[in-house]
Structure 1
Amino acid sequence: MSNGAETTELPGPTFPLKNPGTAVVHAGLRQDPRIVSVPTRCTEHTIDLSEGTDVFAALETALGTFSVSGIMAEFVSGQFEHIEYVHPAYGPDAEHPMSFTHTFAFDQPTQLRHASATVGFRDDVPFCHIHASWTDADGVIKGGHLLPGTLAGPSGLRVRLFVLADSRLVSDVDPETGFSAFAPHLFEPESAGTEARASAPSNTTVPDAVISRVRPGELLDEAVLTVTRNAGFTSAEVVASLGSTTGAVFTGGTAPWPAVEFTYLAGTVTDAQSQGPRVSLIGEVIDVAGEVSSGSLAPVSNPVAVTFELFVRRIT
């Protein structure tokens, strides 16, 4: 289908729906630990993708450009020209309530709203995971889980890269959920010997960020606080993060169960090591109808649905 999705009726659920924010227990064997984290040094870069650039290929190429095995990315501005995507859908039964739609395509220039990406490897080949939202020429807002073949539009795309020196991001099929998901692994380049690492300046060897994989059922804001505390950070920011929760519960509304995908998650943690920490998160999500919602996330109300690729940076 081209020039707009959601113009045909999508299958409805065959099982009772639950309230947004109700956790899902998946059919597969529960995996531990529930939060997998790798502290890492991070450097920030900005790249510009010209009209017609293959977005996936450009981000995957950046791994080699910066000689790393993991990048988190946040799209800043610009347009898409051609978009291939899916969005969350109802699964086949109550034990498997989450799935994806068939592939949609949009062939007209659209204005970027938000997009985040995880860039790493699948089967030892560079691989990219992108969620995005956009506005078309008629002012209609759509979004979804982008697929290869998506191209930068007439004004190009500007992308903020968070290049991870110490983490290899690997996408594998998760036995708990049956979906593919990225997880971080400690990475040390073979060319960097022990003597070279030991002699490096201290400001280049101390991790200033953490990349984490958060498993189903973990509350998103509590996961952010746990990651921040475990890293020893007093204050931190959340950027370039994407994943799914079981619907969404905002302070001023909801998006429906069983799954929404975040095009971005942003926020701050302050006084993390105290008895009174403060976590503030905002985000934008795509639901099972392809609708886009955004707002401030309600506290302790948003369990992860399938996985969350969480990126936290220390605030100095």
Structure 2
Amino acid sequence: MRRIDHPGPAAADRHAAVPGAAVPLRFVLTPGLTIDEAVAAGMREAGCIGGFVEFRGGRCEPFRYVMPAASSDPRYVAWYSDTFEPAGPVDVTRACAIVGVRDGKTFLHCHGIWNTAEGQRMGHMLAPFSTVAEPIVVTGIGFRDATFEAMPDPETNFTLFEPVRHARAGSPEAGVRVLLAKVRPNQDISLAIEDICFRQGIARANIYGIGSLNGVRFVDGTRVDSYATEVLIHAGHYDNENRQGRARLTLDVVDMDGVISSGEIVRGDNPVCVTFELVIETVER
């Protein structure tokens, strides 16, 4: 499997997961607010400090985003492109955001696909610089006692989300079968999910999240060779039927040239590039 060498020391634990008290989310983003402001307001109203939200449709203007790119700085193995600033309104086809905290404020890590005047594009939404142009309904899973917190990561030199639990009076005991998780570089994303679910005793789950992969191999034989990509899970499931846990992931991917690819990925041949953040939701049989 492909490997990418980051400049810092590799952490011993290659993935992390914490349980959280899950709350179904559904709220409307208010026009005139930036995406991060509007999501923060919805999270506060739901009493949540972190989680996952999904956009299916919605218009923004102005709208700003970046794509994966090579880094000219040896402190990083990859970086971001210059900021894209499409003219006119942008219609979001689908986007997913991990919601957490950075510098004491609500912060979004968001990947998605959108339609611009120049055509369909995909990348990393810059939520503080993108404004809601019309009411947008978002859904997701929120947490009142856990979140993703932005922390310096010595291995990659990035500031990255880490899942953390915040004890609160009345919170459920540890072992709640909804998890906030993070996978580190050079770990196959499917195998990592399987290991997390096995360790937590999860039999079936829906998998949500976003991240970056070092190239992508799809089950139909197509491939993305870019060593840095932006990825969102289009559909994700885990099942340990017959005690053989298997994760199946269908991803949307953009490479460093802006080419968008989609499909089910090969288990065991899709290593994380920088990070991959997940929400794992148990499904009862």
Same fold (TM over 0.5): yes
**2 CA distance for matches of 1:151 and 1:181?**
24
State the match for 2:19 in structure 1: 39
Equivalent residues, number: 282
TM-score calculated relative to the size of structure 1: 0.82
Q: Which amino acid aligns with 1:107?
A: A
Alpha-carbon RMSD = 2.2
Which residue in the other structure is 1:141 paired with? 120
The residue type paired with residue 286 of structure 1 is V
Given the alignment of the two structures, is residue 310 of structure 1 paired with residue 278 of structure 2, yes or no? yes
Distance 1:65-1:32 versus aligned 2 partners, 3 A rule: farther
The aligned counterpart of 1:105 is: 85
* Cα shift readout 1:250-298 (whole Å, capped 9, x = no counterpart): 12312232110113342111126x4422321101012101222111111
In structure 2, the residue corresponding to 1:152 is in which secondary structure? coil
Going from structure 1 to structure 2, the CA distance change for 1:235 and 1:245 (only over 3 Å counts) comes to: same
Instruction: Return the letter of the residue paired with 1:91.
Output: S
How far apart, in 2, do the equivalents of 1:118 and 1:209 lie? 15
Q: Secondary structure at the match of 1:59?
A: helix
Of the three residues 186, 196, 204, the one matched with 1:217 is 186
| CA distance in structure 2 between the partners assigned to 1:206 and 1:99 by the alignment | 36
1:185 alignment partner in structure 2: 164
Residue in 2 that maps onto 1:256: 225
Q: How far apart are residue 157 of structure 1 and its match?
A: 2.1
* Alpha carbons 1:69, 1:187 under 8 Å: kept: no
3-state DSSP class of the match of 2:198?
helix
Which protein shows a greater Rg? 1
For 1:29 and 1:226, locate their aligned partners in 2 and report how far apart those are by CA, in whole Å: 23
Contact 2:86 2:117 (8 Å CA) reproduced:
no
User: What is the 5 A alignment of 1:2-17?
Assistant: none
Query: CA distance change for structure 1 residues 95 and 126 in 2, over 3 Å: closer, same or farther?
Result: closer
Q: Are 1:234 and 2:226 counterparts?
A: no
* Cα distance, 1:34–1:268 mapped onto 2, change above 3 Å: same
Per-residue CA deviations over 1:123-161 (Å, capped at 9, x if unaligned) read 2222221112112356x210211111212234x322113
Tell me the alpha carbon deviations over residues 68-113 of structure 1, each in whole angstroms, 9 at most, x when there is no partner.
3212111122223321111100122788431111111123223222
Asked if 1:283 is matched to 2:234, the reply is no
Judge conservation of contact 2:86–2:116 (CA < 8 Å) in 1: no
TM-score, normalization: structure 2?
Answer: 0.91
The percent of aligned pairs where both chains have the same amino acid is 27
Displaced runs of 4 or more, over 3 A: 50-53, 93-97
Where does the alignment leave 5 or more consecutive residues of structure 1 unmatched? 1-20
1:126, 1:96 → 2: CA distance? 25
Hey, what's the Cα distance between the residues in 2 that align with 1:49 and 1:124?
21
**Local SS of the residue matching 1:120:** strand
5+ residue gaps in structure 2? none
Amino acid corresponding to residue 40 of structure 1 in structure 2 = G
State yes or no: 1:166 paired with 2:145: yes
Aligned with residue 117 of structure 1, among 76, 97, 108: 97
Pick one of 287, 290, 296 that aligns with 2:264. 296
- In structure 2, the CA distance between the partners of 1:302 and 1:211, relative to structure 1 (3 Å rule), is same
Report the AA paired with residue 125 of structure 1: K
Per the alignment, residue 17 of structure 1 pairs with none
Q: Is 1:59 equivalent to 2:27 in the alignment?
A: no
Residue 121 of structure 1 aligns with an amino acid whose one-letter code is V
